[in-house]
């Protein structure tokens, strides 16, 4: 009888807990119901576009000009540079300007890598009009689950022997964009290329009359880099002040200055971030340390600015005017080389996210759910846990704390009464009320702050508990 009563009591407790969890999930998700992703026909700066919108982020896709993403924004913060001198125009049938020149439309696009001149195994662009200037076929998939997708397919490029297709996927309730790129060999002989995504970040000031002097990019350097300094200069002066290697923390910091230059890194961390106007634009990507990359680099950064650099066997000069030197920074993510037999394909995936971090703070770390801008710390004040840190999150949801012992065994988890959104920074102050309902296990050695809700349940940061 006692066993039966105990069992019934246990089941009653379980039912109560399940009801509480269901109510909590409803409370947390009730404000997110309007954040359903959708695809619709739209317009941007005079172009006809396909717009992907989920109430938080908006992407403007321009299939007619190189299948590019011409703009990406979180609320009113637009991240990508757009060439306003070409706004609303369409490329001629050649995809080139009247003198055969490159038409730099802006936004984000795919190129084949490596870049180079004088041999068939290097791409002598830009311009590369077939792949990045001519119309792409666009297909919007029906909504599936919690996400929508648009597929963009380039014309077949006879000069490189390849064709690109990429799928752009957006989920509900977050700023996460999944980009799935496919390269297909349409030639009759083997081809060897890498996939090269080039994203042009706007560095103009708010008035649009100059450049913003407080734009920074961050990318972890490889502790086992093949480059003696952890990076290599590809173009421009070796002492360009834009490129600032923090050797102690193995972090490359790129400051947009008015001096042209480019670097490559064999980064293996799989992320980079650009901070402007108190917001962070983040790219996460696959890394393959054991494979060969174009330029031996998984990430490259180009500063579009006045100055001189050598390329194509000659010295190139960019004049200090808004036509030749518009203020933008290129973040360039590369795949390893793919050895493609005729008809074969190669896949590469990367992700974008955006978040408000509340100021032009450095990005110290990045996970699948957010960035850390000020270190996460935890200490005991009597029997209360005090937390500090600054973060930006990629999804709407709520916070959890997970405790671990010295052997990394998870001990307990608590839900904090804190909702999070990419629209606002997450700033933790040493307020005992924040953790008033948290009873820290006596054997706890570390605590992790986690997010749950519309995105995956995952850690944002972890720290030792100081006593």
In whole angstroms, what is the distance from residue 147 CA to residue 36 CA? 8
Digit-coded pLDDT (tens) for 56-96: 999 999 999 999 999 999 989 999 999 999 999 999 999 99
C-beta of residue 257 within 8 angstroms of C-beta of residue 301: no
Question: What pLDDT does 430 receive?
Answer: 94
Question: What pLDDT does 4 receive?
Answer: 47
Is the pLDDT assigned to residue 5 strictly greater than 60? no
User: Would you say how long the chain is, in residues?
Assistant: 467
DSSP bridge pairs for 71: 60
Question: What pLDDT does 14 receive?
Answer: 34
437: CB partners within 8 A, 6+ apart: 414, 417
| Share of residues in the chain with pLDDT > 90 (%) | 85
Both tokens of residue 20? Answer: 């509480």
Question: What pLDDT does 11 receive?
Answer: 41
Is the pLDDT assigned to residue 293 strictly greater than 60? yes
Digit-coded pLDDT (tens) for 41-51: 999 999 999 99
**Positive or negative, the Cα torsion across 147, 195, 107, 156?**
negative
Digit-coded pLDDT (tens) for 346-385: 999 999 999 999 999 999 999 999 999 999 999 999 999 9
C-beta of residue 432 within 8 angstroms of C-beta of residue 381: yes
300: CB partners within 8 A, 6+ apart: 234, 262, 263, 264, 265, 330, 332, 334
Choose between 386 and 33: higher pLDDT. Answer: 386
C-beta of residue 108 within 8 angstroms of C-beta of residue 351: no
> Is the link from the previous residue into 169 a cis peptide, with omega within 30 of 0?
no
Q: Strand 57-62 relative to strand 68-74: parallel, antiparallel, unpaired?
A: antiparallel
Mean pLDDT, rounded, for 438-465: 95
**Phi (first) and psi of residue 463, to 5 degrees:** -150, 155
Both tokens of residue 261? Answer: 């230059």
55: CB partners within 8 A, 6+ apart: 34, 35, 36
Q: In the chain, count H helices and then E strands.
A: 2, 32
Is the pLDDT assigned to residue 122 strictly greater than 70? yes
| DSSP-based three-state secondary structure for 189 | coil
Question: What pLDDT does 144 receive?
Answer: 87
Question: What pLDDT does 28 receive?
Answer: 41
C-alpha separations of 13 from 1, 18, 27 in Å: 18, 9, 21
The mean pLDDT value of the chain amounts to 92
Is the pLDDT assigned to residue 10 strictly greater than 50? no
Question: What pLDDT does 3 receive?
Answer: 46
Question: What pLDDT does 426 receive?
Answer: 98
pTM above 0.95, yes or no: no
Of the pLDDT bands very low, low, confident and very high (cuts 50, 70, 90), residue 194 is: very high
Question: What pLDDT does 64 receive?
Answer: 96
Of the pLDDT bands very low, low, confident and very high (cuts 50, 70, 90), residue 142 is: confident
Question: What pLDDT does 2 receive?
Answer: 44
Question: What pLDDT does 350 receive?
Answer: 97
Of the pLDDT bands very low, low, confident and very high (cuts 50, 70, 90), residue 27 is: very low
Question: What pLDDT does 17 receive?
Answer: 33
Question: What pLDDT does 120 receive?
Answer: 85
In whole angstroms, what is the distance from residue 177 CA to residue 172 CA? 10
Q: Which of 111, 101, 107 is nearest to 65 (CA)?
A: 107
Look up residue 39 and give its DSSP letter.
E
Both tokens of residue 216? Answer: 């920074």
Is the pLDDT assigned to residue 115 strictly greater than 60? yes
Q: Which of 404, 361, 144 is nearest to 253 (CA)?
A: 361
């Amino acid at each position: 009888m006692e066993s039966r009563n105990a069992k019934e009591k246990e089941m009653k407790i379980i039912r109560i807990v399940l009801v509480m969890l269901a109510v909590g999930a409803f409370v947390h998700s009730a404000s997110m119901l309007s954040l359903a992703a959708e695809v619709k026909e739209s317009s941007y700066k005079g172009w006809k576009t396909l717009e992907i919108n989920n109430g938080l982020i908006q992407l403007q896709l321009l299939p007619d000009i190189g299948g590019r993403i011409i703009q990406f924004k979180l609320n009113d913060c637009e991240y990508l540079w757009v060439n306003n001198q070409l706004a609303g125009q369409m490329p001629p049938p050649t995809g080139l300007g009247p003198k055969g020149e490159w038409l730099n439309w802006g936004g984000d696009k795919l190129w084949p890598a490596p870049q180079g001149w004088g041999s068939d195994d290097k791409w002598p662009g830009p311009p590369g009009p077939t792949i990045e200037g001519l119309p792409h076929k666009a297909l919007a998939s029906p909504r599936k689950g919690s996400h929508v997708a648009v597929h963009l397919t380039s014309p077949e490029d006879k000069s490189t022997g390849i064709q690109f297709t990429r799928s752009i996927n957006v989920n509900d309730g977050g700023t996460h964009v999944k980009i799935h790129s496919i390269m297909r060999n349409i030639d009759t002989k083997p081809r060897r290329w890498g996939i090269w995504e080039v994203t042009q970040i706007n560095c103009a000031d708010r008035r649009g009359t100059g450049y913003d002097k407080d734009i920074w990019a961050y990318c972890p350097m490889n502790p086992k880099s093949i480059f003696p300094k952890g990076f290599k200069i590809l173009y421009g002066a070796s002492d360009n002040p834009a490129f600032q290697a923090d050797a102690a923390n193995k972090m490359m910091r790129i400051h947009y200055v008015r001096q042209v230059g480019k670097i490559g890194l064999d980064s293996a961390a799989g992320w980079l971030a650009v901070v402007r106007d108190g917001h962070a634009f983040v790219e996460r990507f696959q890394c393959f340390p054991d494979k060969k990359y174009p330029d031996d680099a998984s990430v490259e950064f180009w500063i579009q600015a006045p100055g001189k650099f050598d390329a194509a066997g000659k010295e190139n000069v960019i004049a200090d005017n808004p036509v030749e030197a518009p203020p933008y920074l290129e973040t360039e993510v590369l795949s390893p080389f793919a050895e493609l037999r005729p008809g074969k394909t190669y896949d590469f995936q990367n992700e974008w996210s955006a978040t408000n971090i509340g100021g032009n703070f450095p990005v110290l770390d990045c996970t699948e759910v957010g960035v850390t801008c000020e270190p996460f710390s935890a200490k005991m004040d009597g029997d209360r846990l005090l937390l500090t840190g600054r973060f930006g999150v990629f999804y709407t949801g709520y916070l959890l704390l997970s405790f671990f012992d010295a052997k990394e065994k998870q001990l307990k988890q608590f839900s904090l009464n804190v909702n999070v959104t990419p629209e606002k920074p997450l700033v933790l102050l040493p307020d005992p009320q924040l953790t008033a309902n948290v009873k820290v296990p006596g054997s706890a050695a570390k605590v992790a702050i986690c997010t749950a809700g519309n995105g995956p349940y995952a850690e944002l940061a972890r720290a030792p508990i100081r006593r």
